[in-house]
């Protein structure tokens, strides 16, 4: 039996969630279908709008640490205001196609959905957030737990890494930040995490120990009042390295649902403001963001089916998409709707597929512009301007994928996120913003077509 709704969104990442929320706010019933866990779990939790203007020199007032200048053949320094250069981007860039207002409104939708979990909505300007690599990353929105670590804050900083977390070399990160010219003193130290943990202990295990404030004697949970607890002993191990530091950066592992409680407790014990430094996967800030967005989807009345890939689709006599089919343990179940949103990701997310001859959109077979010469897909050097990095469907201003003649492939199909081409989001640091802008427009288009 077919599952019926007004709009079906295919994909559970940031683009899919944004499209679902956008459509639901137009008063239609939305069903979101996702094959896997959200990619947010693997992301840093930072929401980047446009960090670098790739392909032309960008103006920057130099107030932010690490700001620089570049030339037309290089990636310039971090952008202070992403909106200032949108009109200078290539005509097929998603921001040019959707419009700058789509990015603004997408960020506003995000702010409303996540509430007090994030900061940055008070300004168009990027913030520079130190990461575990020792670089200050330009970003538009950042978790509240990260806010005290911004590079615009002149207070001296201590970065702390743990022997049980081999992904963060705090002294090296501090050295790199200093070399980048940050306007504050920064030092780094590596300490033993409180309790008995393997050198490669899971970040989530350490986070839970801090959140429960369990006994640090054995690393196993007991009542917080028994002996020296995890937070007490951790503060004791950090304190000798403080020096004049007024803020302390710790890898993003300060608990799951009670991160602000953990952060406040450690800050009080150290008499210095503790903040989280965004890390790679598994990402606790990403998991927290996923939880908040899915709560917002639930509140908006969006139905959800996860862990089931969409494997096929059907069209009606009018040429519109009539249904998509999921595979649930071998059973094929059709989902019918008046309109659909494709938010399945790019080459990495498997929304695009490729062979030795062509790259193509994996589900509907939508047109993907690309050089005919396979050798022109890439350029020399790992970080060069690769054509494949911009592969994706090319939509109209309603985010409907266009065929080779420039006509919408299907009148009731819109696309959002990584499956949309025209931007090198990795070099630009624009993946989240592209997801928000295109997701907002795609959701509205789907609601209109439903």
Q: Find the helix or strand (DSSP H, E) in which 157 lies.
A: strand 157-162
Cα separation, 417 vs 112, whole angstroms:
20
Q: What is the pLDDT of residues 312-325, one digit of tens each?
A: 999 999 999 999 99
Most confidently modeled of 204-213, 260-269, 327-336? Answer: 260-269
The answer, yes or no, to whether residue 236 has pLDDT greater than 60, is yes
Which pLDDT score is estimated for 199?
A: 55
Assigned CATH for 3-18+26-117+287-311+340-449: 3.50.50
**CA neighbor of 17 nearest in space, from 311, 302, 325:** 302
- Range 129-143 average pLDDT: 95
Report if pTM > 0.95: no
Q: What is the pLDDT of residue 216?
A: 55
User: Token digits for 179?
Assistant: 């070399």
SS3 call for 315: strand
Q: What is the pLDDT of residues 245-255, one digit of tens each?
A: 999 999 999 98
Helices (H) and strands (E) in the chain, counts: 10, 19
Whether 440 shows a pLDDT value over 90: the answer reads yes
Strands (E), 30-126: 30-34, 118-119
Read off the pLDDT of each residue in 9-28 and give the average, rounded to a whole number.
97
**DSSP letter string, 337-389:** -SEEEE---STTTTSEEE-SS-EEETTT-------SSGGGG--SSTTS--GGG
Per-residue confidence (pLDDT) for residue 217, from 0 to 100: 54
pLDDT digits 0-9 by tens, 98-118? 999 999 999 999 999 999 999
- Mean pLDDT for 404-433 is 96
State how far the Cα of 32 lies from the Cα of 297, in Å rounded to an integer: 9
Q: Please, what's the b/e burial string for 315-345 (b: 16 or more CB within 10 A of its CB; e: otherwise)?
A: eeeeeebbbbebeeeeeeebbbbbbbbbbbb
Rounded to an integer, the average pLDDT of 156-185 is 93
DSSP string of 23-54, one letter each residue: HHTTT--EEEEESSS-GGGGS-S-B-S-S--T
Q: What are phi and psi of 311, to 5 degrees?
A: -115, -10
User: Rounded mean pLDDT of 126-153?
Assistant: 96
Quick check: helix, strand or coil at residue 210?
helix
Give tens-digit pLDDT for 346-365: 987 789 998 888 889 999 99
346 vs 376, residue with greater confidence: 346
User: Is residue 96 over pLDDT 80?
Assistant: yes
* Contact status, residue 423 vs residue 49, Cβ threshold 8 Å: no
Cα separation, 75 vs 32, whole angstroms: 37
Please report which confidence band the pLDDT of residue 221 belongs to, taking 50, 70 and 90 as the band edges: very low
Q: Which of the two residues, 198 and 301, has the higher pLDDT score?
A: 301
Taking a C-beta distance cutoff of 8 angstroms, is the pair 302, 30 a contact? yes
pLDDT at 13 over 70: yes
pLDDT at position 402 is 98
pLDDT confidence tier of residue 225, bands split at 50, 70 and 90: very low
pLDDT in the model for residue 59: 40
Report pLDDT digits (tens) over 34-82: 987 777 888 889 999 999 987 543 344 333 333 333 333 445 689 999 9
Q: Which residue has the higher pLDDT, 173 or 220?
A: 173
Instruction: In whole angstroms, give the CA distance from residue 86 to residue 63.
Output: 20
Tell me, what's the pLDDT at 385? 80
Phi, psi of 119, rounded to the nearest 5 degrees:
-125, 165
Write the CB contacts of 399 (distance below 8 Å, at least 6 apart in sequence): 97, 98, 414, 415, 416, 420, 438, 441, 442, 445
The structural domains of the chain, with segments of one domain joined by +, span 3-18+26-117+287-311+340-449, 147-277
pLDDT given for residue 201 in this prediction: 58
- Strand order from edge to edge, sheet including 247-251: 186-191, 157-162, 247-251, 273-277
The average pLDDT across 293-306 equals 96
- The mean of the pLDDT values for the chain is 89
| Higher pLDDT pick, 279 / 95 | 95
CA 196 to CA 226: how far, in whole Å? 16
Q: Of 120, 122, 128, nearest to 67 (Cα)?
A: 128
pLDDT category at 310 given cuts 50, 70, 90 is: very high
């Amino acid at each position: 039996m077919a599952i019926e709704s007004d709009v079906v969104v295919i994909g559970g990442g940031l683009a899919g969630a944004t499209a679902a929320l956008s459509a639901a706010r137009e008063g239609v019933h939305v069903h979101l279908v996702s094959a896997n866990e959200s990619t947010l779990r693997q992301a840093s939790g930072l929401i980047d709008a446009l960090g670098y203007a790739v392909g032309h020199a960008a103006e920057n007032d130099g107030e932010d640490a690490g700001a620089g200048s570049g030339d037309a053949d290089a990636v310039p320094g971090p952008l202070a205001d992403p909106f200032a250069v949108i009109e200078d981007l290539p005509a097929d860039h998603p921001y040019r196609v959707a419009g700058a207002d789509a990015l603004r409104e997408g960020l506003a939708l995000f702010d409303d959905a996540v509430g007090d979990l994030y900061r940055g909505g008070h300004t168009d300007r990027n913030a520079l957030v130190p990461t575990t690599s020792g670089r200050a990353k330009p970003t538009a929105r950042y978790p509240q737990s990260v806010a005290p670590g911004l590079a615009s804050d002149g207070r001296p900083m201590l970065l702390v890494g743990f022997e049980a977390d081999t992904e963060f070399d705090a002294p090296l990160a501090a050295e790199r930040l200093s070399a980048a010219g940050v306007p504050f003193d920064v030092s780094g130290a590596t300490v033993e995490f409180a309790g008995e943990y393997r050198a490669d202990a899971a970040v989530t295990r350490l986070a839970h120990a801090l959140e429960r404030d369990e006994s640090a004697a054995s690393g196993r949970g007991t009542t917080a009042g028994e002996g020296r607890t995890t937070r007490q002993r951790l503060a004791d191990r950090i304190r000798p390295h403080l020096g004049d530091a007024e803020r302390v950066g710790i890898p993003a592992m300060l608990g799951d649902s009670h991160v602000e409680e953990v952060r406040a407790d450690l800050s009080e014990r150290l008499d210095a403001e503790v903040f989280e430094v965004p890390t790679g996967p598994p990402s606790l800030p990403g998991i927290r963001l996923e939880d908040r967005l899915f709560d917002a989807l639930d509140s908006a009345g969006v139905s959800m089916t996860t862990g089931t890939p969409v494997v096929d689709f059907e069209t009606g006599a009018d040429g519109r998409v009539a249904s998509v089919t999921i595979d649930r343990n071998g059973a094929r179940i059709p989902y019918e709707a008046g309109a659909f949103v494709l938010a399945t990701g790019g080459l990495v997310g498997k929304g695009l597929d490729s062979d030795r001859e062509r790259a193509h959109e994996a589900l509907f077979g939508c047109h993907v512009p690309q050089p005919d010469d396979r050798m022109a897909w890439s350029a020399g050097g790992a970080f060069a301007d690769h054509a494949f990095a911009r592969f994706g469907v090319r939509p109209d201003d309603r985010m409907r994928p266009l065929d080779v003649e420039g006509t919408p492939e299907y009148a009731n199909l819109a696309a959002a996120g990584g499956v949309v081409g025209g931007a090198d989001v990795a070099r630009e640091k624009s993946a989240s913003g592209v997801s928000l802008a295109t997701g907002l427009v795609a959701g509205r288009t789907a609601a209109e077509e439903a």
